[in-house]
Structure 1
């Protein structure tokens, strides 16, 4: 699905409200300020690739702000990774701020106030991903917002090149199988965040990486219905109590995290053409029965797996 935003076809008096409404409907509600002496001018494409939303914007907007009041909405938490296309911009969130220059990568997250400023007009590709799909500690995500990611590291150059090219190709959604670009892009964004966390921490490397190593281990074994705290702790040569303490420090409850990740994988698979039978899909991702999966899925998403699949195919 792709939305085209082009103010050239909108009456000047209506442009500002039309832009704000389109962004609210397709991404999240924000306040957008334009130069007072000139008409609002925006050209952009907003593309959905499963859990990944690609928003490519070239505009004369000078400020985008998600206020504290807007951040208290009931939308699922998301991040917005920006790739600066030209000039420079400033991103501010919490007590952090970062200046982005062409090719730089930084993100904001939707649950607290943030501001993006560019006096020459905001020109970025944004990549929006639900926090649940990233499978990273929410506290870690909050600590890394408004930070230039992996400056000087090869991964940053690789990711920036790929993301810029992806943002430059809005017609991708018209190609069969376009949805398959979503999961590997989310994997790349996850790698950016975890690499930056590992490079930027002042703690001992083994201690700093332990939460991420635990989550990566769990992620690799999600399909095992016998996965539990004792097995995870044993794999990392720590006690169950220490395991819970390490994850609690990142704002994670292990059982809830495992269930959420299993459901996210199932939801993504159900959105793709020709998924496996629902029962087989549930077992593949560690659910012991289709009935228990169905109850968990409805509780999380407000609909049954079959209804979700039919809606995605519709």
Structure 2
């Protein structure tokens, strides 16, 4: 039985004759964001690949492509305006945007923002670039339009703060969409909309203007990120987590109750998920089991074994043996042996 997954489409210029590739890429970009004029010094044999992931009203599109100049002119804006904000998280390469009086350069892990309602020019560097694009209707960013527009054209760091939360979520989502079903799409779209809104508000120093539900969901994502970074600390407690985020423990508990879980359950599940990964990793086969437990917040071996057995029905030693046997069964004969 086939399990339904998120709706995705993939476009590759390599699937077309060389002479048709650039025109097809121009058409694809126009449908993805808004009509644009495109130019490239690689147009004769253009290389580009894009995945399109639909999340309700929000669209995510990881892409990699050759040098490109995007131009959205005033005439194109008048002809067609889907009224969306666009964000690009740069993953490889470099780029720059020209907004007339304003020019901004972007480097890896920067987030570029623009609007389909404004004219602009964006140019990538000479080498191929990779990015994760986001298309989000302006109506889903509940900030005064005249204020939100002030963010457009700026450079937002995807390495720290709320920008890092958005970047991490996008990277994690596009790396593997298999766990998600079509019914998850609107929920995931809401998470993206909340994070984009929070990024805009933070850039405007307008966090207090966020709707309460957006603040709560964004705070929960920040707390989860904090927890994942501190799983190794066996003293990671609700009190410490609440203090680090300047909230009460009761409010912390309510945030997780709204997600159908508890703080303790989330910490335990994340620790054991990472422990499972390490136990199944052939490269860590010689690392003692108690050391794996300790690196994920279980300094006492007995405590680690008890928690692991409760969650998985077997002790970590048996889990590792089964994983090792499965890996050996999939290893082609002679792999890793020197040729004679």
Q: Distance in 1 between matches of 2:50 and 2:43?
A: 22
Matches within 5 A, 1:180-191: 180-191=187-198
CA change 1:72–1:161 in 2 (3 A) is same
Q: Distance in 1 between matches of 2:43 and 2:182?
A: 41
Deviation at residue 84 of structure 1 after TM alignment: 0.5
CA change 1:40–1:213 in 2 (3 A) is same
1:98 aligns with 2:104: yes
1:122 aligns with 2:129: yes
Residues 241-281 of structure 1 show CA distances to partners (whole Å, capped at 9, x for unaligned) of: xxxxxxxxxxxxxxxxxxxxxxxxxxxxxxxxxxxxxxxxx
TM-score when normalising by structure 2: 0.55
1:62 aligns with 2:57: no
Aligned to 1:273: none
CA change 1:195–1:110 in 2 (3 A) is same
Q: Distance in 2 between matches of 1:185 and 1:10?
A: 33
Aligned to 1:216: 211
Matches within 5 A, 1:1-314: 1-36=7-42, 38-119=44-125, 120-149=127-156, 153-169=160-176, 176-198=183-205, 209=206, 213=208, 216=211
**How many residue pairs were aligned?**
208
**Secondary structure, aligned partner of 2:154:** coil
Deviation at residue 158 of structure 1 after TM alignment: 2.3
Consecutive aligned runs of 4 or more in structure 1 exceeding 4 Å deviation: 150-153, 170-176, 212-215, 217-220
Q: Distance in 2 between matches of 1:107 and 1:122?
A: 17
Partners of 1:89 and 1:118 within 8 A in 2: yes
**Secondary structure, aligned partner of 2:199:** helix
Deviation at residue 25 of structure 1 after TM alignment: 2.6
**Secondary structure, aligned partner of 2:92:** coil
Deviation at residue 96 of structure 1 after TM alignment: 2.3
**Secondary structure, aligned partner of 2:74:** coil
Q: Distance in 2 between matches of 1:152 and 1:37?
A: 33
TM-score when normalising by structure 1: 0.59
Partners of 2:64 and 2:130 within 8 A in 1: yes
CA change 1:171–1:108 in 2 (3 A) is farther
Residues 69-121 of structure 1 show CA distances to partners (whole Å, capped at 9, x for unaligned) of: 11123433111111000122112234322221111112001111122211223
Deviation at residue 134 of structure 1 after TM alignment: 1.0
Is 85-94 or 38-47 further displaced after alignment? 85-94
**Secondary structure, aligned partner of 1:69:** helix
Partners of 1:71 and 1:112 within 8 A in 2: yes
Q: Highest CA radius of gyration, 1 or 2?
A: 2
Q: Distance in 1 between matches of 2:61 and 2:31?
A: 13
**Secondary structure, aligned partner of 1:15:** helix
Q: Distance in 2 between matches of 1:177 and 1:215?
A: 24
CA change 1:184–1:65 in 2 (3 A) is same
**Secondary structure, aligned partner of 1:129:** strand
Q: Distance in 2 between matches of 1:123 and 1:140?
A: 30
Q: Distance in 2 between matches of 1:52 and 1:86?
A: 23
Q: Note the residue ranges of structure 1 that are not aligned, 5 or more in a row.
A: 199-208, 221-314
Deviation at residue 61 of structure 1 after TM alignment: 3.3
Is 80-89 or 152-161 further displaced after alignment? 152-161
CA change 1:39–1:173 in 2 (3 A) is farther
CA change 1:20–1:38 in 2 (3 A) is closer
Partners of 1:45 and 1:170 within 8 A in 2: no
